[in-house]
Structure 1
Amino acid sequence: MKSASSVYQVAIYLPDSYSLYTIGSVETPFRVANDILAEEKFRFVYVVPEPRLSGLPGFPACVALTDEFDCDLLVIVCETIPDGALSQAEKRKLQSLYQQGKTILTCYAGVFWLADSGLLQDRTAVVHWSLMDSFSERYDDISLSDHLYERHDRLITTAGQAAILDCLVDFLEDTEGKDLAYAVSDQLCMDRIRPAQERQRLPYKQFGGDVQPRLTMAIELMENNLEEPLSTDEIAELVHISRRQLERLFKRYLDTMPARYYLQLRLKKARQLLLTTHTSIVQIGLLCGFSSGPHFSSAYKAYYQITPREERSKLLRS
């Protein structure tokens, strides 16, 4: 476990509506880490848009975003989409913090602040499934993924809620070491730390209407047929739409094609089995629909930049 010799300042920015649940999800991994280290390694400061809003109920004294304050990590917590564009003062401050080398993480709707500041250009972001359409309408030049979270250098976007815990435990592993991260996850009774690439669960209501539920039906068919993959034509036939309609649905709502999405599902399942079971690598490949060891190894390395054997060896060394 790394030394906790220096203080790490976490600033929690509350630009609009927020829930105590989300704030707790941000604070808890750091507070548990403090308990494990037996010192106040991580400290918090609460930030609001304007000085007149200082002193929110239930929080210690707040500082305004435009004030001078010290932080290593700024977490933007918001439950609602902003009504309009950010003020120039907000944009300049967020840009300035990033230029100063600070890490910025967003929860739930906080990604709208990051996008409006211009910091997400040429990057892929994550937003909670219920906000995907609204985000894409406002920022059609920013790519969205359906992952739990995305990390690009010092910019981190999360789907919010439980995904924050997975993201922050992973963040602690990177910044403080594996021992502390695993100790925190054990203390929080997390049965596993979900990887960033794990997909958000997308319920039927996300796709609404008479046609979009076909997409969820197609995804469920894929999830239930990993060992013997169906062809795109077979899936389209089973959900009673044409192949072209199915491809359009995947492109519109998931920004990918059915075959690519199916392959990612199989690879993510394979990675889960590699990390959580003692099943042989060849058998895992077969269970996830790969016809041979070389085919499995090649596809896995293309997606994860590491072979299945290297993945398993890395786990055994840890």
Structure 2
Amino acid sequence: MLTLTESCRQHPPTLRIGFWLLEDFDFYALANALEPLRLANQMAGRSVCIWQILSLEGRDLNASNGITTATTRLDQVQPLDVLILCGGDNLHAQAESPAVRQKLHYWAAQPVGLGALGKAGWLLAQTGALDGFRCSLPEPDPSLSFTTSSDLSPVAAPFCVDRQRLTCVGPQAVQGLMHELLARSHGRGLVLRMEKHVTRQARPLQSVYNAPAKLQATLALMNEHLTRTLAIDELAESMGISRRHMERLFKRNLGCSPSRHYLDLRLQQARQLLQTTKRPMKDIAQQCGFVSLQHFFRCYRQYFGAHARDHMEADQPATRS
């Protein structure tokens, strides 16, 4: 079992997670849980986590939005570190199912993390699996007549990880719960890199319409010199301004330094060439001003969160670092 405490190991073992789906499960909550796990593997460049999609009977299940999802039988599950319950609006029927209650009691007694997304946390509470643990639960549905132990300790937080129990209030809090799980198993540095990547991907290269003339001229010069890149001092001298003035222009209008924007332009150009041509990767790297493939690979992964070969046009031979 992988202990859910802050990880100090350089290479922690792979985190093994099972998602136990109930009929009419919340597909949005499941997607919000899986995406951070996928991104963690991408950012780390290896499988820091793996997951299984499970159900009681191992049949195809319909989500609340009608999407059908294939599952594996719960009793055929591979070894797990964490099992997370994912339900939906039909929890009352699930709570009355002897088979569901039996399995919940069984897993609550196992040396693994046990969690739930949103309203499914009330199923854990009803079976006593949250007794003595702090937990984050949504407001109970008035139509549900759940009875819980007085040992329940809810907290006013979107999500909560207390020892081997994981809960959250709803689909929007699922990502935070997954980030906390990853931070405890593989360190907060990985989560910070993921958050930085998501922020960068959501920020397009900004429009320079109505930008100061000196800035527009500098950007045009950058675009003309992507292969033989110019030093920032050269750019400033060409514009007849000081380096300090140029840095202020970029910071005020684009929110970054000239060198950062220049690198962004080169990486954007590299991705376009990878996706639209069959040129060797070494040639593309050189055309975009990178002196070595290793430097190109490192910058590309830091910016896009993926290896350059992952964006190559189909059938183009890959060059591996």
Counterpart of 1:12?
19
The 1-side partners of 2:189 and 2:44 are apart by 11
Residue 89 (structure 1) aligned with residue 99 (structure 2): yes
Instruction: Describe the superposition over 1:29-69 as per-residue Cα deviations: whole angstroms up to 9, x where unpaired.
Output: 1111100111222112111122444798554x421223343
Query: Match of 1:87, as an amino acid?
Result: S
Residue number among 56, 63, 81 corresponding to 1:72 in the alignment = 81
Instruction: Describe the superposition over 1:1-46 as per-residue Cα deviations: whole angstroms up to 9, x where unpaired.
Output: 9545633221111112223321111011111110011122211211
Q: CA deviation at 1:148?
A: 1.0
The 2-side partners of 1:134 and 1:121 are apart by 23
Residue 150 (structure 1) aligned with residue 160 (structure 2): yes
Structure 2: gaps (5+ residues): 1-7, 201-321
CA contact (8 A) 2:159 2:173 kept: yes
Counterpart of 2:49?
42
* Paired residues for 1:187-206 under 5 Å: 187-189=197-199
Residue 164 (structure 1) aligned with residue 171 (structure 2): no
Residues 1:122 and 1:81: Cα distance change in structure 2 (over 3 Å): farther
The 2-side partners of 1:16 and 1:115 are apart by 19
Residues 1:161 and 1:54: Cα distance change in structure 2 (over 3 Å): closer
Give aligned-pair identity as a percent: 16
The 1-side partners of 2:173 and 2:62 are apart by 28
Higher RCO structure (Cα 8 Å, ≥6 apart): 2
Instruction: Describe the superposition over 1:166-210 as per-residue Cα deviations: whole angstroms up to 9, x where unpaired.
Output: 2221222211112112112222339xxxxxxxxxxxxxxxxxxxx
Between structure 1 and structure 2, the one with the greater Rg is: 2
The 1-side partners of 2:130 and 2:194 are apart by 30
CA contact (8 A) 1:48 1:64 kept: yes
Query: Match of 1:48, as an amino acid?
Result: S
Residues 1:7 and 1:81: Cα distance change in structure 2 (over 3 Å): same
SS in 2 for 1:45: strand
CA contact (8 A) 2:16 2:49 kept: yes
Instruction: Describe the superposition over 1:184-243 as per-residue Cα deviations: whole angstroms up to 9, x where unpaired.
Output: 2222339xxxxxxxxxxxxxxxxxxxxxxxxxxxxxxxxxxxxxxxxxxxxxxxxxxxxx
Residues 1:2 and 1:132: Cα distance change in structure 2 (over 3 Å): farther
TM-score by length of structure 2 reads 0.51
Counterpart of 1:126?
136
CA contact (8 A) 2:92 2:144 kept: no
Structure 1: gaps (5+ residues): 191-318
Counterpart of 2:111?
101
* Paired residues for 1:1-318 under 5 Å: 3-4=10-11, 6-53=13-60, 59=69, 61-84=70-93, 85-129=95-139, 131=140, 138-139=147-148, 141=150, 142-189=152-199
Query: Match of 1:67, as an amino acid?
Result: Q
Q: CA deviation at 1:123?
A: 3.4
Residues 1:90 and 1:3: Cα distance change in structure 2 (over 3 Å): farther
CA contact (8 A) 1:169 1:184 kept: no
CA contact (8 A) 1:4 1:37 kept: no
SS in 1 for 2:43: helix
Aligned residues: 188
CA contact (8 A) 2:22 2:88 kept: no
Counterpart of 2:304?
none
The 2-side partners of 1:168 and 1:95 are apart by 24
The 1-side partners of 2:15 and 2:132 are apart by 29
SS in 1 for 2:80: coil
SS in 1 for 2:76: coil
The 2-side partners of 1:105 and 1:126 are apart by 11
SS in 2 for 1:189: helix
CA contact (8 A) 1:46 1:62 kept: yes
CA contact (8 A) 2:167 2:177 kept: no
The 1-side partners of 2:121 and 2:75 are apart by 19
Query: Match of 1:79, as an amino acid?
Result: G
